[in-house]
Amino acid sequence: MHADQRYRDKVRDAAGILALIEDGSTVVTNGGSGLPNRFLQILAENAQSFRDVRVCHPMRREALPIVPDLVAKQNEGHIFHVSDFSFDRPIIEAIREGRAVYRPNHPTDSGRYFPYDVDVLVIAVSPMDKHGYFSLGAFGGWIMSFVAKARKIILEVNRQQPRVLGTCQVHVSRASAIFEADYALPKIELSGLVATDEEKAIAGHVAEIVRDGATLQIGAGAMPDAVLKLLKNAGYKDLGIHSEAMFDGVADLYEAGVITNARKSTHKDKFVYALAFGSQRIYDFIDDNPAAEMHDIAYVADPRVICTNARPVSVNATIQIDLMGQCASETFGSQHYSGVGGQWNFHYGTSLAEDGRAVITLQSTAKGGTVSRIVPVLPLGSAVSISRNDIQYVATEYGIANLKGKTLEERALALIGLAHPRFRDDLEKNARDELKVLPHRFPGWRADSAPTR
């Protein structure tokens, strides 16, 4: 049968889509810029006609109003949420109140170790090509591992989803139903963010360890954007991208000739990524672009793949770090804040490379400078996202230090030197008297001295 005829035979209206969901079933959706917004609208409007439906997704970023919220208290007993990656405020509150749960895992394991049968998989896709294939859109790498596991697949065809090249594709023959929609993707205007003086200082320290020909993984936010601007203005050459996510700034560096991907040893001349998020600029950049390949997150974030890149550099942020080098990026104590995403994968994979440089960044203080984010020990209940055995570079506005291979004494001293000066004496006293990691004063060390690399 011709692909066009298959497509027409599988198109359903809202009632037809809801008929594919049964009480007690597990529904997996894509998230972020690939969130199937129209499907979730319909499910929310009819939530109380179902019982015990489990909805699983990596990230919510609504482009359309979903009312009532699926995690609202009124839907308890009807819809239950499982979140894998990033939380918004309603999800955080639902987790704390027991109406949703967080599933800790690395993105490489998200589909591989999924603990439930996937009764229905819902994916926002770009329009079908002439061969009957749909691109899984701007967030496709995160959901690709679930395609083979799904009993039923609903494709929400949105003509505003970019047609992304690479391996994240699905054929019309795999679809149980097709649902047509037309809405703009969620926008995050990252290029307009204004970095603080502290963020600019951190960016400067990070940029110092990047070399020509490096393969980068850099996250989202004002500080990462400041790093990219520094790399652009400093005249770096032949940088490459192998990253969990693509954001607006990489398009700027590509057009400026700073990113060429020419020295990459894996996927030479290609951007490699699993999802894209930002303004319309990045969606337009990846659309039908042969230079940009989207792959399954299980491949992109595999440390065994990451370490094969030329001069890999990864840059990620944490909430707190203690004097042993343990990073908490997911929780404040026992309170959930976010998922870990690919942070550990890229930090570890990058540090495996002989010339890899994996950086964890944080501002030295929080709450208007009244609290140190470098602490003697992580608070009780903290999730350790990067262990002390895996940590490599740490950067604050006061400098950058390589902790890899350092003793507990040496790393405590380096981290104290990265802390805000008003907290250094207390950190030293605690390290000496309570943690017992400073049995004696190192000759020549001063509390205000910058750490050596």
Three-state secondary structure readout of the chain: CCHHHHHHHHECCHHHHHCCCCCCCEEEECCHHHCCHHHHHHHHHCHHHCCCEEEEEEECCCCCCCCCCCCCHHHCCCEEEEEEEECCHHHHHHHHCCCEEECCCCHHHCCCCCCCCEEEEEEEECCCCCCCEEECHHHHHHHHHHHHHEEEEEEEEECCCCCCCECCEEEHHHCCEEEEECCCCCCCCCCCCCCCHHHHHHHHHHHHCCCCCCEEEECCCHHHHHHHHHHHHCCCCCEEEEEEEECHHHHHHHHCCCECCCCCCCCCCCEEEEEECCCHHHHHHHCCCCCEEECCHHHHCCHHHHCCCCCEEEEEECCEEECCCCEECCEECCEECCCCCCHHHHHHHHHHCCCCEEEEECCCEECCCCEECEECCCCCCCCCCECCCCCCEEEECCEEEECCCCCHHHHHHHHHHHCCHHHHHHHHHHHHHCCCCCCCCCCCCCCCCCCCC
Positive or negative torsion for Cα 100, 101, 106, 110: negative
> Residue 445 above 70 pLDDT?
no
Average pLDDT for 212-238: 89
Between 232 and 397, residue with greater pLDDT: 397
> Residue 335 above 90 pLDDT?
no
- Per-residue confidence band for 189, with pLDDT thresholds at 50, 70 and 90: low
pTM as predicted: 0.92
> Residue 86 above 80 pLDDT?
no
pLDDT in tens, 27-40: 999 999 999 999 99
Residue 240 and residue 264 in contact, taking contact as beta carbons nearer than 8 Å = yes
pLDDT on residue 191: 57
Between 448 and 276, residue with greater pLDDT: 276
pLDDT on residue 190: 61
Q: Which domains does the chain have, with CATH numbers?
A: 3-181 (3.40.1080.10), 197-433 (3.40.1080.20)
pLDDT on residue 136: 98
Average pLDDT taken over every residue of the chain: 92
Q: For residues 275-300, b (16+ Cβ closer than 10 Å) or e, as one string? A: bbbbbebbbebbbebeebbbbbbbbb
pLDDT on residue 280: 94
Strands 331-332 and 335-336: antiparallel
pLDDT on residue 221: 77
Q: Output the DSSP codes for 354-369.
A: TT-EEEEE--SEETTT
Average pLDDT for 326-342: 88
- Per-residue confidence band for 453, with pLDDT thresholds at 50, 70 and 90: very low
Which residues are designated catalytic? 244
- Per-residue confidence band for 447, with pLDDT thresholds at 50, 70 and 90: very low
Average pLDDT for 270-289: 96
Average pLDDT for 170-196: 87
Least confident among 44-58, 311-325, 403-417, 433-447: 433-447
pLDDT on residue 85: 74
Positive or negative torsion for Cα 205, 209, 212, 217: negative
pLDDT on residue 102: 86
pLDDT in tens, 340-389: 889 999 999 999 998 999 999 999 999 999 999 999 999 999 999 999 99
Average pLDDT for 320-331: 95
> Residue 452 above 50 pLDDT?
no
pLDDT on residue 375: 97
Least confident among 110-119, 262-271, 436-445: 436-445
Single-letter amino acid, residue 185:
L
Residue 73 CB-density burial (10 A; 0-12 exposed, 13-18 middle, 19+ buried)? exposed
**Peptide bond before 379: cis, by omega within 30 degrees of 0?**
no
- Per-residue confidence band for 441, with pLDDT thresholds at 50, 70 and 90: low
